[in-house]
Structure 1
Amino acid sequence: MSYQKILPCTLAVSLFSLSLPSHAEVSVTLTAASDYLFNGVSQTDEKPAIQGSIDWAGENGAYIGSWASNVDFGDGTDAEVDYYAGFSQSIDDNLWYDTGLAYYSYIGGDDSSEINYAEVYLTLGYQSTQITAWYSNDYAGTDAGHYIIALAHSVPLSETLSLNFQVDRSTSLDEDKFSWDTNDDSYIHYKAEAALSWQALAFTLSLEKTDLNYDDDVKLLGTVSYTFGL
């Protein structure tokens, strides 16, 4: 699944209390992170984050889920809650795709919900390489069109250890309505990550960097996640 918060939980399990077919799977993932980096930019003022997701996946490739994290934008917003649904299938032994819709919502401050927005995404994958595009016509509630293109590649070193690399570009289609602090209409984000799995635990350690003038430091991000089925 190419949702990155992918990204996804503290959300109510009642979202998935519908009568599900016996082959469907419901899983919960809880994550502790040293920071919440979204395309290389901290969403928690460089402080730690507690995150979680709950996901339902069917045998036909359909899935639905929700993801949540604490945030700190300095405006009273203290949580992000996302919802997503999509469909993923293999085309053959090497090719696969994933497409869906995500909705990002923010809570805590009086005006937090004003930055809510929806986004569509599409991933095309070949073996361990994938390209993903996300598009919103109302990015962060600004009424500006916005897209992200990401290229990612994974190098498995063993059954439990891999090296993952990603480069992505975030672009505003209307810089009069939305741009970054340096008035740039786009920026590039780089990421190199080591990922280790052990039983129900997953560990990552990554280096990330953007080419934003005001936020170009190399960042070290560590996460530990625990996944269990319901």
Structure 2
Amino acid sequence: MNTFAKAGVAVAMAALSASAAAEISGNVALATDYMFRGVSQTDNQMALQGGFDWAHESGFYIGAWASNVDSNFFSGTSTDPQLEADLYLGYAGEVGEFGYDLGVIRYSYPGYDDANTTEVYLTGSYSFFSAGVYYSNELNFVGVSESAWYIDLGAEYEVAEGVTVAAHVGFSDGDAYDSVASGGLGSDYMDYSIGVSTEMAGVGLDLTYVGTNNDGEDIFGGVADDRVVFTVSKSF
């Protein structure tokens, strides 16, 4: 995230947090890999991540999140970027037992602006299930200046007190995944995950199996191979 965006978030949070109806929270995590839509962003290496969120009781929220990344995934021979810094804002609410969330997220890569990407999203949840649709006019973080859709389907269930099992499947499609001849990646693909999480002494523990289908591996190579990711996290 650039300096201007950082300053903007800081000023907005400082001003808005003065309201008793607002809440600020933070999180930090250490993971054996940073997997995003089934693809390692750290070239199969560890990731240190963290962020802050400001949420108003009306449903409006704004937040920032960051993680180290591997430069080779984005630019091949460049030494940048080494960092992903995201800024997002949106509105979340409920209608009966149905939850919804509408927002926009900006993925920024300091030192390599060509990868910066903006997505809008709409997600919904009901009982144990969730679904989301994400759209970007230019999917620059995979090196393609074409539009793309991402559809996310998930389920989460507490199987025992304090122990939750979560499963997910995602579909990446759109012009960005059309034939290489037309400027795309050559194929759409699917990613999936299943994992278990719990908390001990106030620390979150998560073990998740993550992978993609053959099309994902054909597009991204070894960084899209199936793997198990372990994450330790803390919220405050």
What TM-score does the superposition give when structure 2 sets the normalisation length? 0.83
Structure 2 counterpart of 1:5: none
Answering whether residue 51 of structure 2 is matched by residue 48 of structure 1, we say no
Contact 1:121 1:134 in 2 (8 A): yes
Structure 1 counterpart of 2:3: none
Structure 1 counterpart of 2:91: 87
Q: Deviations for 1:96-138, whole angstroms, at most 9, x for unmatched residues?
A: 1111000000013xxx111101100011111110110100001
User: Greater helix share, 1 or 2?
Assistant: 2
RMSD over aligned Cα atoms: 1.7
Structure 2 counterpart of 1:121: 121
Report the CA distance between 1:158 and its aligned residue: 2.9
Structure 2 counterpart of 1:204: 206
- Aligned-partner SS, 1:60: coil
Please show how residues 132-171 of structure 1 align to structure 2 within 5 Å: 132-140=132-140, 142-171=144-173
- Calculate percent identity across the aligned residue pairs: 32
Structure 1 counterpart of 2:233: 225
- Aligned-partner SS, 1:107: coil
CA distance in structure 1 between the partners assigned to 2:68 and 2:184 by the alignment: 24
Q: Which runs of 5+ in 1 are unaligned?
A: 1-10
1:19 to 1:132, Cα distance in 2 relative to 1, 3 A: closer
* Alignment size in residue pairs: 210
Report the CA distance between 1:66 and its aligned residue: 0.4
Report the CA distance between 1:47 and its aligned residue: 0.5
Equivalent AA in structure 2 for residue 225 of structure 1: S
CA distance in structure 2 between the partners assigned to 1:147 and 1:90 by the alignment: 25
Contact 2:117 2:136 in 1 (8 A): yes
Structure 2 counterpart of 1:69: 67
Contact 1:172 1:178 in 2 (8 A): no
CA distance in structure 1 between the partners assigned to 2:16 and 2:190 by the alignment: 43
Structure 1 counterpart of 2:75: none
- Aligned-partner SS, 1:153: strand
What TM-score does the superposition give when structure 1 sets the normalisation length? 0.86
Answering whether residue 22 of structure 2 is matched by residue 24 of structure 1, we say yes
CA distance in structure 2 between the partners assigned to 1:41 and 1:217 by the alignment: 8
Equivalent AA in structure 2 for residue 29 of structure 1: N
Q: Which runs of 5+ in 2 are unaligned?
A: 1-5, 73-77
Report the CA distance between 1:217 and its aligned residue: 3.0
Contact 1:160 1:198 in 2 (8 A): no
